[in-house]
Each structure stands twice: as structure tokens, then as C-alpha cells.
Chain A
Amino acid sequence: MIVTQQAFRAALLDPAAPVPEGLTDPAGRPAGRRFDVYRNNVVASLAAALETGFPAVRALVGPDRFRALAIAHARARPPRTPLMMHAGADLPAFLEGAGLGSALADVARLELAVRESYHAADAAPIDPAALGRIPPDRLENLRLGVAPALRLVPSAHALVSRRQAALEGSAQGAEDRPETALVTRRGFDPVVTALAPSEGVFVTALARGDPLGAAVALAAAHDPVFIPAAALSALLAGGAITSLETESVP
């Protein structure tokens, strides 16, 4: 009796499936609980990776319910990569599919973004004073190079305060509102900052290479009283600007 890896895998991820014939104990009896060791190792290690990777989501849904969700996720959607740093890349969609709502899924997206930022390539930030030395007539067409560790997570919810409250174990006090989470990393530890949606539009435009003037215009279309100063300060403080390009657009 040949046991294919296809059959092994199918039984591994389905606790109700019979243990494949051909797997035995030393006496030649069916492997039984011995096969369950592999079942448990796989599910427990994948669930543990999600527990480590999504501490705020875990706190928000409760440890027991999160464990059950993580085990269900491991069985339904085992990772597509051996890099556990990417574990749970599809957890936000899984949470939405499980009916847990977009607010929780957005917190999961933010936790993924923080982890991506942690592992992103290093890049030296500009001297913040350099921005102040750009002649005013060159600002309109100024383009910014941004750090690989920069991430943005737009949300219809107050995901930054929601995550923070979950990590601190405190009740979420602030009322819900749309927010874009900005993740920056100066050094090794990512920092999360809450941006207004218009600021999120602005930084998104800058990060894809739009000139400053165009990025401000996009944000202003979103919010007529938009002012870029706070978002630029957050980028500078987070070491997220790596170059300034003042050449005019051809």
C-alpha cells in the first residue's frame, strides 16, 4: 500500500478523515494517534504563527475564538510559502468571509503591514531640513522617494486606535471614523500613525511618484481644507522620505 503525499496531506488537514492505510505503528497496526502527532504539529504550528503575527486581532476576538479561527484557517488555507514572516497574508479576507466584519479585517491588514515593514529593506532617510531648503517655486513638481518600509492601510474605521487599545488591553474609547494607518520604520521598529483619509490619499499619491502639487490637489479634492504639513511631518519623523527630486516634469 503506497501512501502518496497527496493522501497524506489530505488526511493531515482533515481531522475527520481516516488515517491513510499503509501508515502503521511498529506492530503493523494502523498508525492512529501517531498520525495525529503530525496533524497536531501542522495545525498547532500554523495557528501559533498567526497568534504571534496578529496579537491585536487575537485580543479583539478573544484568545479562544482566535485559536479556533486560526486552526480553521490553517486547515482551509495552508500557507503558500515557507516564509512564516508572511503567515496569514490572506487572514483579513478569511475574517471577512467568516462574517467578522471589515473593521476587524482592517486591523488584521494593519498588523500585516507592520510585519511587512519590519522585514522591508533598509533605506537611509533624508535630512529633514533638506525639505525646507527646496525653493518654493520647485515644490509643485517635487517628487519624493519613499522608504521600502512605508505602508498605508486605508480604512472606513478607526483602525489605529482600535489596534492600540487591543494591544494595551484597554477599551476602545474614541468614536469610529475613517482613518488611514501610516506605517513607517526609522531604525528597526515600525511606528503606526493615524492619518485623516485625505492625508492618506496624499501620501498614497506621493508614494507612487506623483509630484507634490498633484498629490495636494488629489487630497484637496477629498477634503477642501486639506493641509499637507502634518502628513509630511509624519513621513519625515518616520524616516520614510529617502530622496527629493526637484527636476521639472517633461
Chain B
Amino acid sequence: MLDSTRTCTLPDAPGVGFKACHFEAVTTAPGAVRWLEIHAENYLGDGGRPLAQLAALAERFPVSVHGVGLSVGAERGLDPDHLARVARLVDRLRPASFSEHLAWSTHDAAFLNDLLPLPYTEATLDRVCAHVDQVQTALNRPILLENPSTYLAFAESEMAETEFLREIAGRTGCGLLLDVNNVFVSATNLGTDPRAYLAAFPMERVGEIHLGGHDTQSDEHGAALLIDSHGREVADPVWTLYAEAIAAVGPRPTLIEWDTDVPDWATLAAEAARAEAILAQVPA
């Protein structure tokens, strides 16, 4: 088991998900942005602009590598080739943090490009822990595992998501990435209380926080159905939850995720500044 206290060396300050269109702006006018997160899968080519930009950014900023394709929850096991590719990137870059999702995205070698949900059962727990161990061994470091946005429930689930994550962290030594927007989205979609979720969350394991925007729809019964779209500003109730969470746990590295309809740099930097203002109110 790896020591989760070494999980993450990002500063307790705002970061943003890096987009190539912001390369000039982030290097010349970072504003409140103190670190950057990249999606591992976008930087697994052999060369060219993406890797050159990443090398330049890594000289200026702590970098968090966020995997979106390891499919830690997959029934069929991890793809060893993909894990090896990610390990090579992590070896080369030595990022301040590596994180993945409590989700699956690959089945029968087909990659479905979405973070798909898991039933919270003993069998799933055993499998996810085995895969987290496998990833941590390959990367030779503890990882952070992120709570998902969910849209539905599994009748077969036996335990709460917070309990499930606590078990994974306890058994594997991994840290946790607390996505506060996902907490709000899932709680709304599943009719639960986001504050109760945060109260039950193993906060001592949190190495990083994510904030992002969501869309609002409704299901066929008229119930609110929030979609984790990462395509707009963080919603006000999510900012409130975030402030409450870090008031309880202390400041944490906080990422603004904005992946679709990517805004101009000023808009993204303003979100980071909002996080910075909230972080400043929390004693270290």
C-alpha cells in the first residue's frame, strides 16, 4: 500500500484545466491561476505542439495529470498498453498529482468516451481496489480517485458512495479528488442531500477539489436532471458547497474545469479568482 500523504503536491490555490487555445494567455497573464491540469490522453502522442506546450508549461506551473481513459471500474480489467503509456507520461513529467475517476469507459476493447456509473457492491469494491492498486504500482505513486456525477441508481447497490470511496482509500492508500459539482449534480439527480454527502465524505483523504459547470434538464417525471457538462460557469449553490467544504477541511488545490464551449481566458481566469477569494477566507 502506498502512502496517501504523498499523493498530491499541488499548491492550495486555484488551477484550471489547460486548453491549447489559452497557451499564450496562461503563460503571460496567469492571474490567480497557480497550477494547471491536463488530460493524460491528450498528451500521449509522440511529439509535436502538444508535448512542446506541456514541457513549457511544466517549467512554469505545477501540473496535475488527470486520466480520463484508464477505466478503473471496468469489469474486463485494465488495458495494459494504455496503462504503460500513461506511466511513461507520468515518469517523464513527474506531475504534482495524478488522478482518475470512479467510473468505467471501456468494455471489450471499445472505448465509450464517457464516465459510466458503477453499482456500489462488494464485488465492485474488490475490482476497483485491485485496479487502483494496479495503477498505483504502474505509476509508482498514490493516485487521487474522483467521485462521479451520476444520473441514475443501481438497484443492486449495497453501500453509499461515500462509504465506497472511504473503503477504496483505506484499502489502497489512494487519495480522493472531491468534485463538488459532481456532489451537487448527483445529489440533485438522486434526491439526496449534498451536505450530508460532504459530511460523510472522507475529507482527510482529499488532495484536490474540482469545480465545474452543469446544465439543467428534467426527466420524464418532471424531476430535475443535472448534466455534468463542464461548459459554463460554476453554479452558485456549488460555490456555496465548496466554501462550506473547505471551511471544514481547510484549503485544497482547487481546479476550475471548463471543457466544452471553452471561454476566453479572462472568463476562465475570473472563475479561478472567485475560487481564490473563497480560499483566502479559510485559515491554512
Contacts and interface: CB of A to CB of B under 8 A. Distances in A.
A46 B48 CA distance: 24
Given A22-B154, A119-B46, A38 B69 contact: no
A14 interface: no
B225 A8 contact: no
B75 A80 contact: no
B271 to A, nearest CB: 23
A34 interface: yes
B47 A148 contact: yes
A31 interface: yes
A82 B106 contact: yes
B219 interface: yes
Interface string A32-65: 1111011001100110010000000000000000
Q: Main SS of chain A's interface residues?
A: loop
A129 interface: no
B88 interface: no
A27 B190 CA distance: 9
Contact of A33 (B111, B117, B219): B219
Interface stretch (B5-13, B25-33, B37-45, B199-207): B37-45
B152 A31 contact: yes
A32 B225 CA distance: 12
B236 interface: no
Most buried by B among A33, A80, A120, A121: A33
B154 A23 contact: yes
Nearest to A80: B109
B75 A82 contact: no
B257 to A, nearest CB: 15
Given A28-B155, A31-B152, A37-B227, A118 B113 contact: no
B41 A5 contact: no
Interface in B63-88: 68-71, 74-76, 79, 82
A34 B48 contact: no
Contacts of B217: 37
Contacts of B76: 5
B156 A38 contact: no
A245 interface: no
Contact of B47 (A12, A31, A42, A121): A121
Contacts of B197: none
Interface residues of B, number: 51
Given A4-B75, A38-B151, A84 B41 contact: yes
Contacts of B152: 23-25, 31, 34-35
A25 B219 contact: yes
Given A24-B152, A34-B219, A78 B111 contact: yes
Nearest to A31: B152
A86 to B, nearest CB: 9
B225 A34 contact: yes
B92 interface: no
Contacts of B196: none
Given A49-B113, A120-B46, A22 B156 contact: yes
Interface in B144-162: 151-156
Nearest to A8: B116
Contacts of A35: 151-152
A9 interface: yes
A130 interface: no
A119 B113 contact: no
Given A119-B48, A188-B52, A25 B75 contact: no
Contacts of A118: 45, 48-49
Most buried by B among A26, A27, A31: A26
B107 interface: yes
Which 4 A-B pairs rank lowest in CB-CB distance, beginning with the nearest? A82-B69, A119-B45, A26-B191, A121-B46
Interface of B: 41-42, 44-52, 68-71, 74-76, 79, 82, 104-114, 116-117, 119, 151-156, 189-192, 217, 219-221, 223, 225, 227
Given A5-B75, A46-B112, A120-B45, 16 more contacts: A5-B104, A8-B107, A9-B112, A12-B112, A23-B152, A25-B152, A25-B221, A26-B190, A32-B220, A34-B151, A34-B152, A37-B227, A42-B114, A82-B69, A82-B106, A148-B47
